[in-house]
A and B are shown apart, each in its own frame.
Chain A
Amino acid sequence: MTDIEQSWAEQIREAAASKTPLRIRGGGSKDFYGQQLAGAVLDARAHRGVISHEPTELVVKVRAGTPLAELEAALLAEGQMLGFEPPHFGPDATVGGCVAAGLSGPRRASAGAVRDFMLGVTLLDGRGNRLHFGGEVMKNVAGYDVARLMTGSLGTLGVLLDVSIKVLPLPVAEATLRFEMDALEAVAQMNRWGGQPLPVSATSWMASVLTVRLSGAEAAVTAACARLGGERLNEQAARAHWQGLREQSQGFFGGEAPLWRLSVPSVAEATGLAGSQLIEWGGAQRWVRTEQDAASVRARAAALGGHATLFRGADKSVGAFHPLPPALRTIHQRLKHSFDPDGILNPGRLYDGL
């Protein structure tokens, strides 16, 4: 163990002995996400730096406190990227926070989510044990997939020390096309195109405009542009559009109204919720700005075959995440207990009592 790891392990053991919560925090860019922030801060930023990145392996191993921007710059220098296009939500975002929050950006529907790229993890559990799972290889079925379990667990199962992530080459060519159509037609179109061998890498719909990004071989992108038609955005406008979605910096995400994220089957009909909406991920992610009560938003998401997250909102007393059915809740509680028997790691951040 390094000095930092050693001191954190001790801090965890002391916290466990006194049953005092620890709040694991990277850059704090996602403090808004999830539920309560309880406990003394364990600042994860001290443990930083890329441990290894060999472009020919398509794998990067990086300490969790490394700024996400630093990692992406290192990958870019080698013509590579994080395939899941994670949001930063601020200049201080860390790799650990990115994995713990498990949030993916516009490329998610075509390339995969954070969890799809996770290959290995080293963590400190709630006993202060340093544990390593997975590895730096693409295929690995030795033991349960604890590395993927860490994504989206919001620090409730352990303090991430380092992660190994599969990376992708930058696409050779990209083009962004715009089409005017209503939401219903846009969802149908996203799904139709998704079923064809087209190099679609991102889709969005808002205010009667469907925007589609194509990424891949030069010839494939050119051929797809010719086939799909629409209005082609210049490179700068295209980048601004996708960046605005990824970082939620564009107008839709401004203002005070609660922001709900509905994760639904891509073919789901209109949410029918009051308020404005923005559709991504080929129809599978629907953002809604609505003042409607949480119960009715969640009931609607469930009726559509999905779930609803109160992504940004002043009042999280209704729960940030969709309630779990009893059998799953029991498994969650047991898993939490197995990694963190004293319940000291980010308690209540994901669900009450977890």
Chain B
Amino acid sequence: MTAATASLPENALREVDYSQVDVARLIGELRAVLPPVALLHDSEDMRPYECDGLSIYRQVPLAVVLPGTEAEVAAVLKICHSVGVPVVARGAGTGLSGGALPHAHGVLLSLARMNKILTIDPLARTAVVQPGVRNLRISEEVAPHGLYYAPDPSSQIACSIGGNVAENAGGVHCLKYGLTVHNVLRIRGVTIDGEVVEVGNHGLDAPGYDLLALMHGSEGMLAVVTEITVKLTPKPQFAQCVLAAFDDVIKAGEAVAAVIAAGIIPAGLEMMDQPATAAVESFVHAGYPLDAAAILLCESDGTPEEVAEEIQRMCAVLESHGATEVRISRDEAERMRFWAGRKAAFPAAGRISADYYCMDGTIPRKRLGEMLTAIQGMEKTYDLRCINVFHAGDGNMHPLILFDANVPGELERAEEFGAAILDLSVDLGGTITGEHGVGIEKINQMCRQFNVAERQTFFRVKAAFDPKGLLNPGKAIPSMNRCAEFGRMHVQGGQVPHPEIERF
């Protein structure tokens, strides 16, 4: 052990063994602070909690707790802290990186019962909600005030706001309206020792370090969130979408850059390559041009005057950058049809391939062409097809690698293909995860993106909140002697987890 590692918590060096937990004591103590319905420890009862949206990883925990109040959360955490048991917090379980995968020797803490909207202040444009509230429900509840909650991750009908904080969820509109971290003013939570903390403020800032930012995307590793104040945004009066076709993906990438260079921040800016367009067109009949090498969807929102002006500017840029066809949505029905295709990309992939594996790298926009060219080469190297959908406006790509797990060797090749894409994302100046989180899925790629000193810093940051390392151990940040290879999301038999949810 060097001087540099001397001050590190044990979990930074290696995975801690929790197999000697006193289960009888744990259950007994939990029973004393929770109503019977809020404590499950029969393995059949716990089955629904064994995985999140990344269902290739499954693990039944020691116990599942479903606290209904902050006081119960604090009581549970105090017990786990004193017994020395890991705790994994879970929202709606729609995450795609295994962040809510239970710990074999730990407690799974579901926040599903804490699902109340506590207050709505239309004048201040804020709502105070519990972590189990679904993302979309906030917008539905505040709609009568002409307001909505801006971040719209693809799973928004099901995902919880607590989970959104844990992953710093984005969505199609985040280029203009920001990520979760830009739309949350305050978080109340409980640390592992049972202390209630409030970070952020009902004003626009709080004294001291920006712990509010630190909590976002922390994957349940720092504290358990019990209450969130979200910022609400006035609903735009009007939206219109432009569909532009290109005969070359590089040109489409350049057009994306040109739109931004023209000083336009579109409400949404999405790109699909030809194989993706073909896959969805046969599925939803969005009316996409099938001969195009790539299509762009470029949306404007605001007042009718503003939208008219912006759409005109967007069209001028797209046409002067080689669009072979530009269509402007004539009405709301057509706008929704333009989007329907993009939103159907995941299920469409499931229709044309037995399995697919979804990636989530982000790269600088200017490298999109390079990445696409490289992916075309990888298709030959790994002898697998890949269809590409992008949040082009912010460089976040979701390549879908198509394979068949029943064909020997295809799963392994798909995983190698995916790893090659993530490696290239890092090499191009990007990141291994834009919005799905590291969880268990990309923990080995973290070893590539961050050096030892940086990973040690992460462990120290965690220890500032959780000195014993009991919150979600083994996730997000790999220990020093464990940068082992893990599998990743793939979809069995064309079945996407939560098939009812649109993914994009």
Contacts and interface: CB of A to CB of B under 8 A. Distances in A.
A binds B: yes
Nearest to A135: B431
Interface stretch (A38-46, A69-77, A136-144, A201-209): A136-144
B167 A264 contact: no
A149 B210 contact: yes
B413 interface: no
Given A54-B366, A146-B457, A219-B308, A137 B197 contact: no
Interface in A109-138: 109, 112-113, 115-116, 125, 127, 129-133, 135-138
Nearest to B229: A265
A307 B206 contact: yes
A345 to B, nearest CB: 13
Contact of A132 (B236, B365, B432, B454): B454
A216 interface: yes
Contact of B366 (A57, A109, A191): A57
B234 A309 contact: no
A112 B182 contact: yes
Given A141-B435, A217-B310, A265-B202, A153 B216 contact: no
Contact of B201 (A143, A217, A307): A307
Contacts of A263: 201, 203-206
B61 interface: no
Interface string A60-87: 0000000000000000000110000000
Interface in B1-48: 4, 7
Contact of A335 (B394, B396, B435, B464): B464
Contact of A142 (B121, B179, B257, B438): B438
B182 A331 contact: no
A170 interface: yes
Interface residues of A, number: 89
B168 interface: yes
Interface in B115-147: 121-126, 145-147
A49 interface: no
A291 to B, nearest CB: 22
B127 to A, nearest CB: 13
Contact of B302 (A141, A197, A264): A197
Contact of A55 (B7, B197, B261, B477): B261
Interface stretch (B170-178, B342-350, B381-389): B170-178
A266 B265 contact: no
Contacts of A116: 178, 181-182
Contacts of A54: 364, 366
Interface in B186-219: 191, 195-199, 201-211, 213-214, 216-218
Contacts of A140: 362, 431, 433-434
A346 interface: no
B419 to A, nearest CB: 15
B204 A285 contact: yes
Q: In the complex, which of the residues A168, A216, A332, A335 has the most CB atoms of chain B within 10 Å of its own CB atom?
A: A335
Q: In the complex, which of the residues B202, B207, B261, B464 has the most CB atoms of chain A within 10 Å of its own CB atom?
A: B207
B321 to A, nearest CB: 12
A144 B438 CA distance: 11
B393 to A, nearest CB: 8
A1 interface: no
A332 B208 contact: yes
B174 A149 contact: no
B486 interface: no
A335 B209 CA distance: 9
Nearest to B301: A197
B474 interface: no
Contacts of A350: 208
Interface stretch (A90-98, A177-185, A239-247, A320-328): A320-328
A322 B206 CA distance: 9
Contacts of A264: 202-203
Interface in A206-239: 216-220, 222-223
Interface in B465-493: 465, 467, 476-477
Contacts of A132: 454
A198 B234 CA distance: 9
B394 A138 contact: yes
Interface stretch (B78-86, B329-337, B445-453): B445-453
Contact of A338 (B235, B260, B461): B461
A156 to B, nearest CB: 8
B121 to A, nearest CB: 7
B395 interface: yes
Interface in B231-260: 234-237, 257-258, 260
A281 B202 CA distance: 13
B305 interface: yes
Nearest to B310: A217
Contacts of B374: none
B98 interface: no
Contacts of A285: 203-204
A219 B306 contact: yes
A145 B181 contact: yes
Closest 8 CB pairs of A and B: A169-B263, A219-B305, A338-B460, A148-B213, A334-B464, A56-B257, A139-B434, A220-B306
21 contacts: A57-B260, A137-B362, A144-B217, A145-B213, A149-B210, A149-B461, A153-B209, A168-B265, A191-B124, A191-B125, A195-B122, A195-B145, A216-B302, A263-B203, A263-B204, A263-B205, A285-B203, A285-B204, A307-B203, A321-B208, A328-B198
Given A57-B366, A223-B306, A305-B201, 19 more contacts: A54-B366, A137-B429, A138-B175, A143-B454, A143-B476, A144-B217, A148-B210, A169-B264, A194-B125, A197-B302, A219-B306, A220-B306, A265-B203, A266-B125, A285-B204, A305-B203, A306-B201, A307-B207, A321-B208
